Structure 1
Amino acid sequence: MKKNTALWTAFLAFMLISNASFAQRMLTGRITDGTSPIAGASILVSGTKTGSSSDAEGNFSINSNLESGQLEIKFLGYLSQLVKFSKNKDLGTIVLAPSDNQSLEEVVVVGRGVIDIAEGRMTPIAVSTIRQTEIEEKVGAQDITSTLVNTPSVYITSQARGFGESSMNTRGFDQSNTAFLLNGQPINGMDNGRVFWSNWSGLTDIASVVQIKRGLGSSKLAISSVGGTINFVTKSTDMKQGGFLKQTVGNDMYVKSTIGYNTGLMKNGFAVSAMFTHWQGDGYMNKTGGQGQSYFLSIGYKVNEKHNLNLMVTGAPQSHDQAFNSTLETFLQNGRKFNSNIKTINGVAMNPRMNYYHKPVANFNWDWKIDDKSSLSTVVYASMARGGGQSDRTDASKQRVPYLAADVNNHQWYGIVSNYNRKLTDHLNFNVGFDLRDYKGEHYRQVTDLLGAQSITHSGNVNYSGPLTASNVYTTNPWKAWGAKPKNAEDRLAWDYNQMIRYAGLFGQLEYAKDGFSTFFQGSLSQQQNSREDFFLYKIGEGKSKKVNNFGYNVKGGASYTVGHHSLFGNAGYYARQPYQNNIFMNFKNDINENAKNEEILGLELGYKFASKYVDVNINAYKTTWAHRVTSNSRLASAKDVEKYNPTNNPDILVVGDYVYSTNYGVKQDHQGVELDFVTRPFTGFEFKGFASVGDWVYKGSSTTIVRNQDRVELATENTDLNNGKVGDAAQTSYGLGVKYSIIKHLSVDADYRAYDRLYSSRQAGQGNVLQLPSYQLLDVGASYKIVLSPTNSLSFRININNLLDKFYISEANTNLFATEGTSTWRGINTANNVLIGTGRTWNASMKFTF
């Protein structure tokens, strides 16, 4: 009996050990770049949600119940790798190849919990990622937005208006309603949500990743991500010593020179990376020249295994002349480079329209690995900007003396974002954090050129009786703009007010994942306080407005299920977003707008993803409704506008060619559509990709419209019927194909074809009253070649030709003039419409020496 008991005990012990061994196979290995360990790499068992990350020495271990399978290994800045496993428990050393051998490849990414890159996220989302190689190859002389042209539901207009003048729409929503983040820091203007790409020209040099999460996305912040969220992740402090020199040239005398250097990780734990760029060019359209610089400094310090610190400072001071929309007839008669801003003033032909700006940004990141289950990421940031937009004016005297003046938009902005992450169990993860911002904007007009006059007169400041005289001139040099603030009221023309915005947000996320199933819930609360102080329209000491407090929130949730290479997901979310300050205070005064309610956004998404070694496919369907929103647009005043809006007692309040601004309150939009993107790698050195998106974006109901002239004087209040009118300014149907082929080692060619259809005017109107523009197609080509001079030195060449076929097309319009009998037309379009013609054939070439 004792013998039988011993046998049974041994048998049961053997079975338990065997079952435990079968149930949990321990997979181990080490991730390196060939010389140094890679910490923080993502390791996931394909077809499951079982995963881990590498430690400071690159080591990892994963418990898996699979007899065989493969691991998906990913790390930002390196090519993803699939590693098969069967009976082997120790996979040994796995070497990841850099995604770009020509640039800062060993990037230390800081602020991981704040930046929130969707690399290896458990919950799938509608996301597209553009890595450093493609950014460097494709941008050339364009804005950073050009990296997203081959993305579903994204529409980018050209830079025909001038350097940095591109614009971007996502799922039919403009830039003010798409959230832009720099290393997790919000960069949309706090007063109106806008983003001006001329202020961010340096991003083309310092971005390591650009990621767009369309629709709800995965950002935990309470931000304006109605169309989507675009995250720009900059290069951080490089661990490897070395540098590069790069020279770029392009059409219309474009020249750009860049130098970068990295100290590498020094014995004292510090590492420094720095970069400086100078660019200049004549501009594509007539008299739209510009020049500028960009700078980047990143200082990293590894305190110990638990604490990493990084300080980054970047800026892009620039100035450039501008072009605006003109009638189609004007472009057809004078060519697509015609610039209606060119004027003869005092006998001299000039372009008085110019933008100048300098917006340095600094952020300090602290990553704290508290223990194996928890971490804290914090970024403290500051931005102080100086600059404005110049135009021609006439003074208040009887002689109507001409002069140039700038509408100044200075600001100072401070903030902090912090996120705490806690692994509650093997399958449950929790995040909580806060977002604080403090903003002050200064707005006034100042003289930049007296055009030979001794002084000019102006009026309107209620603190003074009679006209004032201004004789001081202030610079438009972006470097010197810091000292160009007028100290006396006589030099502040037309308006003089400050905007103050304070914001506090709290966010959290709970995420569960097990055996191919995952679900998440996100929520955020925010309080925003808006106030303004006016020194022009109110007596000194009486110009402080009431403090307007608005409470906002959002909730998002979703689930996904993965089987093998297939994933299905669904997300839903609701936003109650506070109105921007420019919509809270009416008529640019302290009058509070009763129509400025919280905007209500409801988003629904479904998606399917197939991922394998040879092909990746994503299909997404979405529906977004948006109520109580405020929109605005502008157009050049026509003779009909002058007749309609000019009062008899003030016939000069609006003249032909002035800008007319319309603000629409109570707008409701309904956007729905389907998106597809894929990439296939049938054999080594060949990549074929494509995208397509079909949307149905319409307005619902009616809105109240306030019309103003370019001096912000109210001309009229109208009721506009918008029901079922098409949303314009972005193509509702788009598709494209791209190919990249390595002919031999280090020599590759690529091409991208895109087509756009169902593009409508941005001028809002009801069903049947919105102008549809002609469809168009574009073809871009490029080639790259690299010469390896030594193990550490290389010489790289790149050439791009955009719009190879020199296609003449309308990229946007802001009028709704239909063709009638006797009117002049082009491809069925009335040539009296106010349009922007897309950029024709352009080119750029670069050479880069890496050492």
Structure 2
Amino acid sequence: MKKIFYYSLVFLLVLNSFQGYSQTKFKGVVKDDREKLSLFGALVSIKADGTSSVDQASVDFDGSFQVITTKTFGTVEISMNGFITKSIPFYGKGDESTIDLGVIYLEENTVTERDIIVTTSSIDVIKDRKTPISSSTMRNYEMREKASNKDFIELTSQMPGVYTSRVGGGYGDTRMNVRGFEQNNISPMIDGIPVYDLEAGIVDWANIASMNDVASSIQLQRGLGASKLVNSSVAGTMNMILRNANYDKGGFLYNSTGNDGYRKFVGSYATGLLQSGFSANVLLSLTSGDGYVKSTNFEAYSYYIALGFKKKKHDFQFKVFGSPQWHNQRVSDIALSTYIERGNGVDDPNYKYNSDWGYLNNEEYATKVNFGHKPLGIFQWDINFTDKTQLSAKLYGSKGTSGSTNFSGGILGLSWDYFVDANGQVDLNTINSFNSGEPTDLPFYGVVTRSENYNGQYINSIWNGDQGNGFVSTDTGISLLSEITNQTFYGGIINLSTQLTNNLKLNYGLDARKTVYNKTRIVNDLFGADGYDPDYYTTPSFSLNTNNTALPEPLLDFTKKNLGATPVDYKYDAKIAYLGSYAQIEYDIWKLNFLAQGGFNRQFIQRVNYSLGNYAESNPGSDVYDIDNNTSNATSELPIDGYNAKFGVNFNVTSKHNVWANAGFVSRQPVFVTVYSGLNNNVNPYYKNEKFKSIEVGYGFRSRSISLNISAYSSDHKDAETPYYSPEDGNFGTTSGINRVNRGIELDITVAPIRRLILNGTLSLGDWKYSSNAIFYDLRPGSTTPVSTLYINDHKIGGAPQLMASFGADYEFFKNFRFGSNIKYADKMYASPSLERYDPAFYGDDFAFKSPVRLPSFAVVDAFASYRFRINVTNFIDLRLNIDNVLNRKYISESNTSYQTNGVDPSDVNGATFNENGNIYNGIAGGNNAFFGLGRTWNFTVRYEF
């Protein structure tokens, strides 16, 4: 595949040979028509066919510009946010002439789309000084410049209210938090299509990690968002807009290198809109590296193909985007004291330490791997009946697979601490020896030899634990399995947009979708055993040299020959279908813009269980997969309704000042794993819709040198639910009645005080806390305490800083050479332990009634330098160096535990506290699990544009 990739890049380069070199130079000055001030930053474009730009230049601080083109006819287009675009036609011979256009005055227009222009009504974007919603936008060139070797989602950390964490540091594993809400409350959308996981409520960034290469822009709409669909968003909508096939003609080759073996190659070419009406846009990329954290290697490919046809009233777009990838991960919990132990042992933690790998037969072996490929296909047909009425129809579909590896099984009931070598890595050789019946020296037990457990063979099985039926797995062997999701979804959106009067615009549409998630497990590695039997259970036994009796006898002889070919342990389908409708009204009068939107959808949820075997027949609470009895058992379709409504108003006080407000509510259906409470067809009796209410007000200011936005919000989120899951037990419990209030203020400002200097800053101040106690329901059969109160009322919500600020500067020292830096500061961030930890019956009063630990504040400095030079009139080379965390600051990016410094240290057999043991790091108890932010990283990029 790599050869195909490189040949494709060469092909793209050859296309560059078909370029012309005769040129015409246009120059002039751009000013506004009222105050006669220079419009610094206005864009001057040469358009040869009326749509696609072939040459561009930005207006300098004094208002002057010059742009060179090889085209002999077309238009010169001058555009700027907040002003009406002006077009000047030209026709010449291309004989090295210079045309002075003089002073060009642009008329102010308070109703323009800010940063994003779309031609279809099925994609919802914020319109500056009109749409009453808080938003931030990244355009393609900004993503291209700032991406470095970050995950693209990390670029949003410069937006107010947004916090991102690399979590374990794996490729595509970045976690995003908006206004104190976890990312499962954010709705990611590609070209207006929701890509939120309806089965588990997760957001999978890894499989769209190359989005910054193919998107024309990404807009984060905070709060209610502008989407007309009844989607999953309560905290914000991430609107990722793909490039159309008729994107500007031209292409580029991109080569990047960075720390820890980072490499990236990208090639792209677009035909622009041809006279025949056809167009095409193609992109290929390859990204790989060793990973900043130890054993987090990765490799990802990406492809994007867009084909278009535009003629008169019709515009057809067909797009296919995919990104097959695999990456090693760090997902296991690591205590601060362990980081220090693997560092200098005193006070300097090794924040690259990763416990999720080891050596097997002297070769490095990663035990946590994520992989997947879930391509998305889109067909869009826009019919412009008139200038005021458009019908947009969109069909889409995806079919792919994703998964991740996990250990399963056990040895003599020992914890994982017994299978860690002297270097802190997984002792795979010991596991392999035990599984295969070789003598193994284990702590506490001494030399142990596993006995054959079926027909003279060593058969691994699932770790059963105590299910209340008297069976406890103590020597089931340890296997490496993959949890696999085979995903299929398809749907459509149809939207009618019509301008009923000069002041009134209506959008009405239907949204339908069918999704099937097929969930199962496969075996990756038996580590020396002869087979795997998901039906095998052992009785409690401490007689180590006596064969344990399988109850019942194994039904599946899963040999090494079919590793990965057969589903094991469980297999089921999660089916979710929905049909929704919506309406949106925009009414403009005088200086006022009104927006009202409402929608309703009904989901149909069904579970199809293929996990019926002999053991399951005699134990109805179990779902052990039996390949010899692959029958299905389907539930009836469970209908659940959801709806939303929102209203907003914007008032343009003057041409520079505007104020706005919005309010709304959402009733969101629970995700599939909340409705079905385990690896069976039983329905969770406690599920209910989540309720979300929000009100927000804002102010905006625009002038020739300042752009400022400030907003205040208050959000009430009620009846949220968190399921607790294990691969063996399914959702063994659930926390219901999670209520919270998130309030805050956000500010962003951009200033151009002098020529060539741009300053920007953001400020986010939040007050996020739980507004009631919650309830934990233990759903396991025979539980002695099925209901517990979790004392979280008035506790701070963790996972993101409640105070964030950033300041950046970008200065052009001389023509085409720029240098910039940005500092990010974070404070008032709290740990985010699982809420069931606040149950005093299980975890004690010391933990349950105390607020989460406040983590140390931190500041991180990033910097860049870039230079562009011209090869000829149409070809450029861009050079850019990005350095993130320049000062190599070590900081805790998140923690999922909340041990107090005066609490008992679990590692101390005498019950001493963390303080008494000196087990403290930066004011935090050393027993707390944590992930560190990445230290200094760098990236150097060469981009050839033609």
| TM score, norm. by length of structure 2 | 0.74
Q: Does 2:873 match 1:791?
A: yes
Q: Does 2:146 match 1:138?
A: yes
2:557 maps to which of 455, 469, 478: 469
Shift of 1:240: 4.6
* Aligned-partner Cα distance in 2 for 1:70–1:272: 31
Q: Which residue of 1 aligns with 2:442?
A: none
Q: Which residue of 2 aligns with 1:848?
A: 943
C-alpha deviations, 1:744-768, integer Å up to 9, x for none? 1211111111111111111134774
* C-alpha spacing 1:71/1:244, structure 2 compared with 1 (3 Å): closer
Match of 1:360, as an amino acid?
Answer: P
Contact 1:708 1:716 in 2 (8 A): yes
Q: Which residue of 1 aligns with 2:641?
A: 551
* C-alpha spacing 1:512/1:531, structure 2 compared with 1 (3 Å): same
* C-alpha spacing 1:717/1:165, structure 2 compared with 1 (3 Å): farther
SS at match of 1:822: helix
Q: Does 2:887 match 1:805?
A: yes
Shift of 1:351: 2.1
Q: Does 2:677 match 1:586?
A: yes
Q: Counterparts of 1:147-546 in structure 2 under 5 Å?
A: 147-158=155-166, 160-302=168-310, 304-324=311-331, 325-334=333-342, 335-344=350-359, 349-394=364-409, 395-396=460-461, 400-459=476-535, 466-471=554-559, 486=565, 491-536=566-611, 543-546=633-636
Q: Which residue of 2 aligns with 1:620?
A: 711
* C-alpha spacing 1:404/1:509, structure 2 compared with 1 (3 Å): same
Shift of 1:449: 2.8
Contact 1:152 1:692 in 2 (8 A): yes
Q: Counterparts of 1:1-12 in structure 2 under 5 Å?
A: none
* C-alpha spacing 1:848/1:40, structure 2 compared with 1 (3 Å): closer
Shift of 1:161: 3.0
* Aligned-partner Cα distance in 1 for 2:498–2:784: 54
Q: Which moved more, 1:625-634 or 1:265-274?
A: 625-634
* C-alpha spacing 1:133/1:70, structure 2 compared with 1 (3 Å): closer
2:735 maps to which of 658, 661, 664: 664
Q: Does 2:823 match 1:753?
A: yes
Q: Which residue of 1 aligns with 2:841?
A: none
Shift of 1:201: 1.6
C-alpha deviations, 1:227-269, integer Å up to 9, x for none? 1111011222145543221111111111111111223333432
Q: Counterparts of 1:831-846 in structure 2 under 5 Å?
A: 831-846=926-941
* Aligned-partner Cα distance in 2 for 1:425–1:59: 32
* Aligned-partner Cα distance in 1 for 2:862–2:274: 43
SS at match of 2:715: strand
* C-alpha spacing 1:660/1:351, structure 2 compared with 1 (3 Å): farther
C-alpha deviations, 1:320-369, integer Å up to 9, x for none? 11102310111122200000112355776522110110011110111110
C-alpha deviations, 1:616-654, integer Å up to 9, x for none? 111111011011111357899xxxxxxxxxxxxxxxx99
Contact 2:829 2:857 in 1 (8 A): yes
C-alpha deviations, 1:380-402, integer Å up to 9, x for none? 11111212101233422986444
Shift of 1:552: 1.1
Q: Which residue of 2 aligns with 1:701?
A: 772
| TM score, norm. by length of structure 1 | 0.82
Q: Does 2:771 match 1:771?
A: no
Unaligned runs of 5+ in 2: 1-42, 54-73, 88-102, 343-349, 410-459, 463-473, 538-549, 618-629, 839-847, 903-914
* Larger strand share, 1 or 2: 1
SS at match of 1:791: coil
* C-alpha spacing 1:403/1:518, structure 2 compared with 1 (3 Å): same
Contact 1:70 1:83 in 2 (8 A): no
Match of 1:442, as an amino acid?
Answer: N
Q: Which residue of 2 aligns with 1:35?
A: 47
Match of 2:666, as an amino acid?
Answer: Y
Contact 1:341 1:352 in 2 (8 A): yes
Shift of 1:311: 0.5
* Aligned-partner Cα distance in 1 for 2:168–2:475: 35
Q: Which residue of 2 aligns with 1:562?
A: 652
Identity among equivalent positions (%) equals 29
Match of 1:382, as an amino acid?
Answer: G
* Aligned-partner Cα distance in 2 for 1:515–1:117: 22
* C-alpha spacing 1:694/1:634, structure 2 compared with 1 (3 Å): farther
Contact 2:461 2:536 in 1 (8 A): no
* Aligned-partner Cα distance in 2 for 1:550–1:772: 39
Match of 1:535, as an amino acid?
Answer: Y
Match of 1:404, as an amino acid?
Answer: L
* Aligned-partner Cα distance in 2 for 1:409–1:421: 37
Contact 1:160 1:284 in 2 (8 A): no
* Aligned-partner Cα distance in 1 for 2:561–2:396: 33
C-alpha deviations, 1:46-72, integer Å up to 9, x for none? xxxxxxxxxxx9999xxxxxxxx9834
Contact 1:463 1:536 in 2 (8 A): no
2:754 maps to which of 683, 700, 703: 683
C-alpha deviations, 1:543-599, integer Å up to 9, x for none? 212321111111101112112211111110011111111101112321112221111
* C-alpha spacing 1:615/1:161, structure 2 compared with 1 (3 Å): same
* Aligned-partner Cα distance in 2 for 1:401–1:205: 45
Contact 2:678 2:731 in 1 (8 A): no
* Aligned-partner Cα distance in 2 for 1:275–1:524: 36
Q: How many residues were matched structurally? A: 740
Q: Which moved more, 1:620-629 or 1:558-567?
A: 558-567
Contact 2:570 2:679 in 1 (8 A): no
Q: Counterparts of 1:703-742 in structure 2 under 5 Å?
A: 703-706=774-777, 718-742=788-812
Q: Which residue of 1 aligns with 2:456?
A: none
Shift of 1:542: 5.9
Q: Counterparts of 1:623-634 in structure 2 under 5 Å?
A: 623-631=714-722
SS at match of 2:386: coil
* C-alpha spacing 1:707/1:162, structure 2 compared with 1 (3 Å): farther
* Aligned-partner Cα distance in 2 for 1:465–1:254: 51
Shift of 1:472: 5.5
SS at match of 2:198: coil
Unaligned runs of 5+ in 1: 1-30, 42-56, 61-68, 76-81, 100-106, 476-483, 637-652
Match of 2:645, as an amino acid?
Answer: V
- After superposition, the CA RMSD in angstroms is 3.3
* Aligned-partner Cα distance in 1 for 2:104–2:372: 49
* Aligned-partner Cα distance in 1 for 2:351–2:380: 46
* Aligned-partner Cα distance in 1 for 2:666–2:126: 21
C-alpha deviations, 1:717-746, integer Å up to 9, x for none? 533121111111111111111111111121
